[in-house]
Structure 1
Amino acid sequence: MFGPLAPQKYVRLIKTCIGSFKQTSRHRCLSVSCRSVEDIRRFISENTETVGQQSLTPEVKLRLFTPNCRFWRERPELWPFDDPYWAIYWPGGQALSRYLLDNPAVCRGKTVLDLGSGCGASAIAAKLSGAAHVVANDIDAVAAVATHMNSELNGLEPPVCLTNNMIGSPAEAFDLILLGDMFYDEALATSLHSWLDHCINTHNTQVLIGDPGRAQFEEHGIRRLLRLLAQFELPESVREENYGLTCSGVWCYRPEL
């Protein structure tokens, strides 16, 4: 994902394992560029747990933070990388992935971009749904490694993983762009709005957005340009991890509305 995390009132995990992961110069020297991919894979394996059943997509396995993991309770200053957004299966991404798996024709034979891909769940759902080509884009290189590992868990060839910030870049010819939990910051939402318009106008790209109804999403101008496609009740375990969020929806972006 991009930028600062959503407000702490929404996700208990922000308080317990992400929100306080402030980087020091000593730990920044342990950045991705200083470690081999194998080192990062080993670190992820040792500090996450394979889960799947307690989500909207029980058929998809992912390596995530759980209470059994060291950094659920470890001192946050010991975390050696950027904030691990990829280690949580966010509710918007869950709804988006569920929708793709329930409606494979949305992806079948298409080129798909999962923007702010995190753990890679939506990219995995797109591949499982028959997408011809999938790109997972996240500015955190550790997320790219996690996406590779999660793809392997599900018996899939990993998608192409890009770590440059594609927002604002020249529009590429994707048939479908997926955004899960990306509207958590007003400035980011505004830049997304402009860039998505450019992608749609240039390539007639379809855009699907997954979000559990955070204030930054509901109150942004883009909200009036969305058509609700599906809404899902979140599993009890996901509700417990998210303050005030019981459902998550999938919207189609329709700038002509």
Structure 2
Amino acid sequence: MLLEFVHAHTVLAPVPFVPEVSLYQAEDSIALWEATEAAGTPQPPPFWAFAWAGGQALARHILDEPDLVAGRSVLDLATGSGLVAVAAARAGARPVVANDIDPLSLAAARVNAEANGMPVETVEADLLDSDDRYGVVLAGDVFYSREMAGRVLPFLRRSAARGSLVLVGDPGRAYLPEGLIRRAEYDVPVVEDLEGVPIRRTTVWQVTT
């Protein structure tokens, strides 16, 4: 059912800033929003149907610098479409885990991984209070709300303290914390209906303890 919904409301196309990866993406953001709520129960926003700026920048960075992830275990936190997970797998990471709390997101991550021929595992769970260890933790566009930032930053700092390389992609969201290390900047094409602009200046940051 979930896989059918993803296929019915998206089209497979290359990601603008990461053309090595194709994703099932929505052509009409408003129509998709309405479709996800048609069942009459509250649904999380369909983050899984778009290539957001933070994820695009992070995917570009690890594909350009595959030694960051090659041969290492990777967690793609709040995976959305699975873009970053797919990019990590393409760069040689093994195993790659795409995590989210939205079942539709994980369905999208599975079909996107399959479309790109990449091995990606999916985990539906809130991991932010866990202490699982990965060689690399990646998070694209997670500082969009005060609540999310307040929960995700301690998890990322704990991961860094345990020795993980922790990278986040962020296009200047309101709740980006201070004290991060700037690694790269990109001008990333985005969906103007969602972002209000066609290009977002987006930074890849490293989280430390």
Mapped to 2, the partners of 1:151 and 1:130 lie a distance apart of 14
Mapped to 2, the partners of 1:142 and 1:75 lie a distance apart of 12
Mapped to 1, the partners of 2:133 and 2:33 lie a distance apart of 43
Structure with max Cα Rg: 1
Taking a change above 3 Å as real, the CA distance of residues 155 and 144 of structure 1, as seen in their structure-2 partners, is same
Taking a change above 3 Å as real, the CA distance of residues 60 and 185 of structure 1, as seen in their structure-2 partners, is same
Offset of residue 73 of structure 1: 8.3
1:61 lines up with 2:12 in the alignment: no
Mapped to 2, the partners of 1:179 and 1:78 lie a distance apart of 30
1:187 lines up with 2:141 in the alignment: no
Taking a change above 3 Å as real, the CA distance of residues 70 and 212 of structure 1, as seen in their structure-2 partners, is closer
Contact 2:183 2:206 in 1 (8 A): yes
Contact 1:179 1:210 in 2 (8 A): yes
Mapped to 2, the partners of 1:104 and 1:40 lie a distance apart of 32
Mapped to 1, the partners of 2:150 and 2:183 lie a distance apart of 22
**Equivalent position amino acid for 1:116 in 2:** A
Mapped to 2, the partners of 1:214 and 1:57 lie a distance apart of 21
In structure 2, the gaps of 5 or more residues are: none
Mapped to 2, the partners of 1:73 and 1:175 lie a distance apart of 35
Taking a change above 3 Å as real, the CA distance of residues 40 and 96 of structure 1, as seen in their structure-2 partners, is same
Matched with 1:164 is: 125
1:199 lines up with 2:159 in the alignment: yes
Larger mean Cα displacement after TM superposition, 125-134 or 241-250? 241-250
Offset of residue 156 of structure 1: 1.8
Counterpart among 55, 61, 78 of residue 38 in structure 2: 78
SS of residue in 1 equivalent to 2:58: helix
Counterpart among 42, 47, 51 of residue 89 in structure 1: 51
**Equivalent position amino acid for 1:212 in 2:** P
Matched with 2:90 is: 128
The structure richer in helix per residue is: 1
Matched with 1:101 is: 63
Taking a change above 3 Å as real, the CA distance of residues 56 and 78 of structure 1, as seen in their structure-2 partners, is same
Q: How many residues align?
A: 206
Contact 1:91 1:238 in 2 (8 A): no
Contact 2:137 2:159 in 1 (8 A): no
SS of residue in 2 equivalent to 1:200: helix
Offset of residue 71 of structure 1: 2.4
1:41 lines up with 2:23 in the alignment: no
Matched with 1:18 is: none
Mapped to 2, the partners of 1:75 and 1:43 lie a distance apart of 9
Offset of residue 254 of structure 1: 2.3
**Equivalent position amino acid for 2:175 in 1:** Q
Matched with 1:174 is: 134
Deviation string 1:192-233 (CA, Å, 9 cap, x unpaired) is 2222222222x211100100011221xx3xx22x11111111
1:155 lines up with 2:155 in the alignment: no
SS of residue in 2 equivalent to 1:208: strand
Taking a change above 3 Å as real, the CA distance of residues 249 and 78 of structure 1, as seen in their structure-2 partners, is same
The structure richer in strand per residue is: 2
Matched with 1:228 is: 182
Matched with 2:172 is: 213
Taking a change above 3 Å as real, the CA distance of residues 73 and 240 of structure 1, as seen in their structure-2 partners, is closer
Contact 2:53 2:200 in 1 (8 A): no
Mapped to 1, the partners of 2:136 and 2:166 lie a distance apart of 6
Q: TM-score, normalised by structure 1?
A: 0.74
Q: TM-score, normalised by structure 2?
A: 0.89
Matched with 1:254 is: 208
In structure 1, the gaps of 5 or more residues are: 1-38
**Equivalent position amino acid for 2:55 in 1:** G
